Amino acid sequence: MHTLLSRFCEEFVQIVRPLQAPLERAADGYAKSRNAERDLEALKQLVDLRQQVGLLADKVAEQQAYVLIFGPLKSGKSTLMNAIAGSYVSEVSALPAYPCMVFVSHATQREFVLSRYDGSEERFDRPEALQRHVDQAHRELAGKLRQAEAAGSDFDPRTDFPRAIHKVRVKVPTEGLGHSSAVMVDTPGLYSRMKFGYGRMTRDFRNAAACAVFVVRSDNLFLEQVFAEFTDLLELFSRIFLVVNIDSRRVDLDPNGNLVPSLEQRDPQRIVEAFELLAMSEPLKRAAEDGRLRIYPIDLLEAGRQRLHGATKAEEQPRDSGFQAFFSDLTSYLDSTDHLVAFLGDSLRRASTLVGEISDLCDSAPVRGLHERLGKLQVEAAEAKTGLQAIAELQAFPFDAELARLRETLEESCQQIAVDMGDRTEREVEQAIRGWFRTGDSLQTLAKGELVPLFNQYQELLIEALSRELSDRLVRGGVGVEVPAAVEAALQRVGIDLPAIGREAHRQTDRRALVRVPPTPLRAEHFNVRRSVWDGLALRGQPALRQRLFGPLDNPVQPVSTDRKRTRLGEAGRVDAQAQLTQYRRGFFADTVSRVVKDFTQGYCDLVVRSLTAQIRDKATDLRNRSERASTEIARSQQLLEPLVQLGSQVKQTKAAVDGLTQHYGAVDLFLLTQPVRSEPPLPTKPRPRTGTPNGTGNGTPEVIERPGINATHQGAGKRP
């Protein structure tokens, strides 16, 4: 039967369900993130929101009324579930201390589905197989928890152990749940060691659960610790049933030593009255006065026995365990207009809340930071790409060929300097020769002691002149040669300082290696020695005469007196020396200028090219690394952002649709929610105020007919007529 309520549920699910896919993709992206610590909080939020959206969509799709059952361990929660369901379901609901919830609902076929925090599911045909799996999962979870405790860190299964069980859905044929479409939700026992995440579990049901049942044994009813977190339940749920589990077979010892029925057996209501009078906190009192909290003393073991036994032996008349009043009030509430109003209103408000939380997440500081980081990475990638293009231009430019022309330029610049220094050297050489003829020094002393230093000095002065000329060129920028503007721009783009390279190469050029020791400028065999009479008689030739005058021809170290120089060499000897040096200087000066300029510029250019090539190579490597790193980070950021962008777009559509649905059903007469409707009828709306005087009063006062709407409070809404 298609009703107005079922049509609302279909429309609601079609609006809310599309949020799950982008939430799933966004959570997967963060789960795979390398920067897990930074993205941990966003991952937790996404996992929570994904679960809550799924929970809300499932609830509305199946028109489910969630009944959450709370209480300390061994308080009787499982027994109460058996009694409510009219079937034995505690075989799967009693997961001792495991931090997950068990959803029990009616179905014609038994089904057990286990869901994990990572989104995976596993189905079981029999409860025994499920229980064995849960036992193993419990041991694994306990091990992870001990590791976290040993490390002194908080444990969160969403991130620390995603394979942990998140919830178990159980569908079994149950008499008590089939009529109301109620889903019992068994929660982990309060005060258990694995209590982590308990507050989050209950918070997930804000505006989603129909009501809550809190179970406490009568022995613990007056313990303040038991109700330490009860105030939180009052804030979460509009209706709470407090079940006091009593033992109707308990006996006490009277003054005569006889066993007599205890107060729990005789009058359990007096225990409740004592609690209300002596131990109930102020928040609980207000809730009870408002009708939001109701207290029921029930012998749960007896109630469970009666319900299960009555299901098989209807002819047996069970005695009252106090359960019937509770069960009647619970089913009446679930069938009431109060609940229908709460169902629509809470579903829409919960959807609005989730949409707001998702929207806030999409616009949160970490997500904005991710957008900013992506922008910076894209700029960095573009800069790296531009830099690599500049590198390609630099690698194609013939720097070595351009620098080769520097030699010609420097040689031209040094020609006049070389001429001036050559004239100066010639004058100093002539002075050295004239001075030698006035001394008794050997020819070796003249050649190597005076003439060679003069020629070395010539080389040093020439090298110094070249160095100054290059230095002047470097002051003007570059490396001594002009490069095209495009090349200069490419150098600037990649951060290569060409003038600095030139200055450093100039500093490292080895000037001392350019000074070469010249060959002996004067040789004894080139002198013509005069013969004496005795030389003629002895028939001595020139070689013998030269050796007798200078000493060994290859090492003329024999001193020659001024008289012997005058008589043996005379003016002709000085002319011979001048002729030798003139010939020597011509070759030496020309060769030295060419060699020094070549070697100086070659050494400088080699240093420039090596340094430039190395810097271009290093810059290229750095830019490629930056480009690859930026591309990797961009892909990672986009992997995180693209689902969030899709999620942001989807959440805007969902918000508009939820607002429209709220406005649409805000005008609906909720008394007609369960009435059959055609496929697309006009929605019945609340009667509008009418003006005039239909009753003949003539006072113009509008007649308003009150009907509960989705914005009505749970307490103020009326019962279904």
3-class SS string, 653-697 = HHHHHHHHHHHHHHCECHHHCCCECCCCCCCCECCCCECCCCCCC
Under DSSP, is residue 128 helix (H, G, I), strand (E, B) or coil? helix
d(CA 530, CA 256) in angstroms, rounded, equals 167
| 356 pLDDT more than 70 | yes
**Pick from 402, 386, 468, 469: nearest CA to 612:** 402
**Residue pointed to by tokens 């979870």:** 141
pLDDT tens track for 602-611: 888 899 999 9
Residue 529: phi and psi, rounded to 5, are -95, 135
Helix axes 365-396, 485-494, angle to 10 degrees: 140
Q: Rounded CA gap, 527 and 529, in Å? A: 6
Per-residue pLDDT, 573? 86
Output the pLDDT for position 101. 79
Res 189: pLDDT? 60
**pLDDT band at 721, cuts 50/70/90?**
very low
Residue pair 666/709 in contact (Cβ under 8 Å)? The answer is yes
Asked if 158 and 44 count as a contact pair (C-beta separation under 8 A), the reply is: yes
- Among 165-179, 270-284, 301-315, 647-661, whose mean pLDDT is lowest? 301-315
| The listed CATH number (2.60.120, 3.40.50, 3.30.450, 3.30.300) that belongs to domain 64-97+186-362+690-721 | 3.40.50
E strand or H helix at 295: strand 293-298
| Lowest-pLDDT choice from 18-32, 148-162, 195-209 | 195-209
Higher local confidence (pLDDT), 154 or 280: 280
Kindly indicate the confidence band of residue 242, based on its pLDDT and cuts at 50, 70 and 90. very high
Query: What is the band of 207 on the pLDDT scale with cuts at 50, 70, 90?
Result: low
Q: Given the DSSP bridges, would you call strands 111-116 and 121-124 parallel, antiparallel or unpaired?
A: antiparallel
Q: Cα–Cα distance between 349 and 238 in angstroms, integer? A: 14
CA–CA gap between residue 266 and residue 249 (Å, rounded): 10
**Nearest-angstrom CA–CA distance, 364 and 167:** 29
Q: Between 591 and 237, where is the model more confident?
A: 591
Q: Which two tokens stand for residue 600?
A: 């100086």
What's the CA gap between 183 and 169, in Å, rounded?
10
Q: Select from 666, 697, 695 the least CA-distant residue to 683.
A: 666
Rounded to an integer, the average pLDDT of 385-390 is: 94
Mean pLDDT of 372-381: 92
Nearest CA among 171, 52, 21 for reference residue 111: 171
> Which residues is 69 bridged to in the sheet?
186, 213
Mean pLDDT (whole number) for 122-150: 82
Higher pLDDT, 343 or 284: 284
According to the model, what pLDDT value does residue 128 have? 79
Q: Is the pLDDT of residue 516 over 50?
A: yes
Entry field: residues in the chain: 721
Q: What is the C-alpha to C-alpha distance for residues 412 and 415, in angstroms, rounded to an integer? A: 5
Residue 183 reports pLDDT greater than 80: yes
Pairing of strands 182-186, 101-106: antiparallel
Mean pLDDT value of segment 92-105: 68
pLDDT tens, 260-269? Answer: 777 777 888 8
% residues pLDDT > 90 (the chain): 17
Q: Please give the single-letter amino acid code of residue 539.
A: L
CA dist., res. 29 & res. 23, Å (int): 10
Q: What is the pLDDT of residue 186?
A: 82
pLDDT band at residue 719 under the 50/70/90 scheme? very low
Residue-by-residue DSSP string for 177-244: HHTTTEEEEEPPPBT-TT-TTHHHHHHTTTTTEEEEEEEEEGGGTT-GGGGTTHHHHHHH-S-EEEEE
* Domain assignments of the chain as residue spans, ordered by start: 64-97+186-362+690-721, 109-172, 395-641
- Mean pLDDT throughout 536-553? 84
The Cα–Cα gap between 576 and 622 comes to 68
Q: Decide if 673 contacts 311 (C-beta within 8 A).
A: no
User: Who's near 399: CB < 8 A, 6+ residues apart?
Assistant: 483, 608, 609, 612
Task: Check: CB of residue 297 under 8 Å from CB of residue 322.
Answer: yes
How many CB atoms within 10 Å of residue 525?
Answer: 12
> What's the rounded Cα separation, in Å, for the pair 410 and 413?
5
Tokens 């559509």 identify what position? Answer: 653
- Mean of pLDDT values over 65-72: 84
Whole-number average pLDDT of the chain: 80
